[in-house]
Amino acid sequence: MDAGDLRIFQAVAREGSISKAAITLNYVQSNVTTRIRQLEDQLQVPLFHRSNRGMLLTPAGENLLGYADRILQLLDEAEHAAQEGSPPAGNLRLGSIETAVSRFLTPLLAEYCSCYPKVRYSLVTGGTHELNQKVLKHELHGALVYGPVEHAELQYIKMYEDELVLIAEPDEHDISVLLNRPMLFFEAGCSHRAQAESFLKTQGIRALHIIDYGTLDTIIHGAATGLGVSLLPRSSVAQAASRGEIVILPVPDPYSRLEVGFVYSRGEHISSALHALIEIMAEPEQ
Residue 179's pLDDT is 80
- As a whole number, the mean pLDDT across the chain is 86
191-229 pLDDT, tens digit per residue, is 667 777 777 778 777 667 878 887 889 999 999 998 988
CATH 3.10.290.10 for domain 90-161+259-282, yes or no, is: no
Max CA pair span of the chain: 68
Equal fold, 90-161+259-282 vs 163-257: yes
Residue 137's pLDDT is 83
How is the chain split among helix, strand and coil, in percent rounded to 5? 45, 25, 30
- The whole-number average pLDDT for the span 83-94 is 77
What residues contact residue 140 under an 8 Å CB cut-off, 6+ apart?
93, 94, 95, 124, 131, 134
% of the chain surpassing 70 pLDDT: 92
Higher pLDDT, 80 or 214: 214
Write the class of the CATH domain 3-83.
mainly alpha
Residue 191's pLDDT is 63
Radius of gyration of the chain measured on its C-alpha atoms: 22
Residue 8's pLDDT is 92
Domain locations in the chain?
A: 3-83, 90-161+259-282, 163-257
Residue 286's pLDDT is 44
Q: Indicate if the pLDDT at residue 258 is higher than 70.
A: yes
* Domain boundaries 163-257, corresponding CATH code: 3.40.190.10
- The whole-number average pLDDT for the span 109-132 is 91
228-251 pLDDT, tens digit per residue, is 888 889 999 999 999 999 999 988
What residues contact residue 117 under an 8 Å CB cut-off, 6+ apart?
none
Q: Indicate if the pLDDT at residue 268 is higher than 70.
A: no
Residue 267's pLDDT is 67
13-53 pLDDT, tens digit per residue, is 999 999 999 988 888 999 999 999 999 999 999 999 998 88
Residue 6's pLDDT is 92
- The whole-number average pLDDT for the span 154-164 is 92
Q: What span, in angstroms and rounded, lies between the C-alpha atoms of 118 and 221? A: 38
Q: What span, in angstroms and rounded, lies between the C-alpha atoms of 62 and 144? A: 29
Q: Indicate if the pLDDT at residue 187 is higher than 70.
A: no
Terminal CA-to-CA distance of the chain, rounded, Å?
51
Q: What amino acid is encoded at 267 in this protein?
A: G
What residues contact residue 115 under an 8 Å CB cut-off, 6+ apart?
276, 280
Q: Indicate if the pLDDT at residue 69 is higher than 60.
A: yes
